[in-house]
Amino acid sequence: MLVNTEAKILPIAQQGEAVLAQVAQLVIDPLHPSIQTLIQDMHATMLAANGVGIAAPQVFQSLRIIMVASRPNPRYPDAPPMEPIAMMNPEINWYSDEMCLGEEGCLSVANTRASVARAERLKVTYINQQGETVESEYSGFVARIIQHEVDHLNGVLFVDRLDPDLM
């Protein structure tokens, strides 16, 4: 995805904002200019915040759009670098039985990192920025980001998934 110099850096909703607790709406017209602009702005906002993902509700848009942008980082040195992918109406169709614990943070939850159990692998179907339906399989850190971002579309934050016995 090219960096659009006209893209805007949007404010990021913080825990407690109503938009983060809502179930987001399906995207009806993936190629509509307002949707394409929103994706560019989400990309710029994610880069500015140094995130590896972002979901539209985090920028106050209750729409089913996520961006996934794995890169190696101190917690996940072996994470694959990838071109950011925008996914509209993502549906996780299959989760592995194998689970794994991994540290997560969130641009909407300040100063909190915690270990969350997620499926190690998944299959996801989504509409890409060209309006095509794509099915892909992911594992490890990328699968973790997808699960974290899809949770945002369903009004769930990673801190809602923490085991109270471990807190």
Q: How far is the CB of 124 from ligand K3U (least distance, A)?
A: 14
Q: How far is the CB of 93 from ligand K3U (least distance, A)?
A: 20
Q: Which residues bind ligand K3U (CB under 6 A)?
A: 50-54, 58, 73, 75-76, 103-108, 144-145, 148-149
Nearest to ligand K3U of 105, 155 (CB atom): 105
* Per annotation, catalytic residue among 98, 103, 104, 149: 149
Shortest distance in whole angstroms from residue 20 CB to ligand K3U? 10
Classify 118 as helix, strand or coil: strand
- For residue 9, what are its two tokens? 């850096």
In this complex, which beta carbon is closest to ligand K3U, that of residue 31 or of residue 50?
50
d(CA 115, CA 28): 35
Binding partner at 10 among ligand K3U, Zn ion, none, C-beta below 5 to 8 Å by kind: none
* Contact positions vs Zn ion (CB under 5 A): 106
DSSP E strands, 107-160: 109-119, 121-127, 133-139
Told to judge if 149 belongs to the known catalytic residues of this protein, a careful annotator would answer yes
Give the Cβ contact number of residue 16 at 10 Å: 9
The string of DSSP letters for 53-93 reads EEEGGGGT--BSEEEE-----SS-TTPPP---EEEEEEEEE
CB of 148 to ligand K3U, least distance (A): 4
Amino acid of residue 13:
A
Helix or strand holding residue 94 (H, E): strand 85-95
43/148 with CB nearer ligand K3U: 148
Selection from Zn ion, ligand K3U, none that 54 binds (CB < 5 to 8 A by kind) is ligand K3U
Catalytic positions, written as ranges: 149
